[in-house]
């Protein structure tokens, strides 16, 4: 008599998924002559969680979930002594692919490279990608050359005497715990100066003058830029090296009531209140249904 009942649940707004996409950090240069290697740039950072994304921009819109496969790519860090990091992304047939750009490499004699965040350079600075990260710094001159820090998702690297650290990363609480990601690499130690510290968020510290073998890599699964190598002089043993960039990470967050439970790539799955959090440290998929 009254006709078919209406399923009001089918009229509800579509489910949403929050995301964090961090690319691999850049690789840093070794030192040479009287120049320390500059710090490399952090991987680009894009997020819909919270209020801020990389490069000083506002957070992005959440993903509107539809059925099908979300393909997750996690970029590796750039190799030692100067290579850009690799991109991370989320792809699905119903969205514009969300891509974060790998961090820019640093240079001891030329220009830092553009990336998600830019690498430090002797001649010119490497620029960051808009709404993903900041530029590195160019070297300064004061009695001898000091190297400079790489850019981070939350700030530019430094290049003042006594302060040549990497740019700070960005703090994101998408897992339920506030965590910094995508810090820039610090500069290698120079004459009469300390090495530069890596930016908070996995940036590698610059190499210590007295410990050439000290690794100065960016932290894994943070997108941190590699730290620069120190310089070499006669009578001081060892081999200088730049740091490798830290690998990236992709994190998804959605209501547990919307979560399908279907994944590949073995993400770490946790809960935070009413939400399920998928943390990908390697490439994989989430299949929504």
CA distance 132 to 137: 17
257 pLDDT exceeds 70?
Answer: yes
pLDDT of residue 246: 98
Average the pLDDT over 218-231 and give the result.
93
pLDDT of residue 117: 98
Kindly report, residue by residue over 147-173, the tens digit of the pLDDT.
789 999 999 988 776 678 899 999 999
Q: Is the dihedral of CA 65, 71, 77, 82 positive or negative?
A: negative
pLDDT of residue 12: 38
Nearest alpha carbon to residue 101 among 131, 79, 72? 131
pLDDT of residue 192: 56
Would strands 262-264 and 284-288 be described as parallel, antiparallel, or unpaired? antiparallel
Token pair for 109:
């004699």
Average the pLDDT over 257-266 and give the result.
97
Nearest alpha carbon to residue 244 among 278, 220, 265, 260? 220
- The whole-chain average pLDDT of the chain stands at 88
Q: Is the whole model's pTM more than 0.85, yes or no?
A: yes
Kindly report, residue by residue over 67-124, the tens digit of the pLDDT.
999 999 999 999 988 799 999 999 999 999 999 999 999 988 889 999 999 999 888 8
201 pLDDT exceeds 80?
Answer: yes
């Amino acid at each position: 008599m009254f006709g078919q009942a209406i399923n009001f649940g089918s009229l509800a707004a579509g489910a949403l998924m929050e995301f964090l996409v961090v690319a691999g950090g850049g690789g840093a240069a070794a030192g040479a002559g009287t120049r320390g290697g500059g710090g490399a740039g952090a991987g680009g950072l894009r997020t819909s969680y919270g209020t801020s994304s990389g490069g000083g921009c506002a957070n992005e819109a959440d993903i509107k979930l539809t059925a099908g496969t979300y393909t997750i790519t996690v970029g590796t860090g750039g190799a030692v002594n100067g290579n850009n990091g690799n991109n991370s992304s989320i792809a699905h047939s119903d969205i514009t692919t969300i891509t974060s750009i790998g961090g820019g490499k640093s240079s001891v004699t030329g220009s830092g490279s553009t990336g998600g965040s830019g690498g430090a350079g002797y001649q010119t600075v490497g620029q960051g990608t808009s709404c993903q990260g900041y530029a590195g710094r160019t070297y300064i001159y004061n009695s001898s050359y000091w190297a400079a820090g790489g850019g981070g998702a939350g700030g530019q690297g430094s290049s003042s005497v006594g302060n040549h650290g990497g740019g700070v990363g960005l703090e994101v609480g998408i897992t339920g715990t506030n965590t910094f990601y995508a810090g820039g690499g610090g500069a290698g130690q120079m004459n009469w100066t300390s090495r530069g510290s890596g930016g908070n968020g996995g940036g590698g510290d610059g190499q210590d003058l007295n410990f050439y073998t000290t690794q100065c890599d960016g932290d894994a699964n943070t997108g941190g830029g590699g730290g620069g190598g120190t310089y070499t002089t006669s009578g001081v043993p060892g081999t200088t090296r730049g740091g490798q960039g830290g690998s990236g990470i992709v994190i998804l967050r959605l209501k547990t009531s919307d979560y399908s439970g279907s994944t590949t790539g073995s993400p770490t799955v946790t809960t935070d209140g009413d939400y399920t959090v998928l943390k990908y440290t390697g490439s994989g998929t989430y299949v929504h249904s």
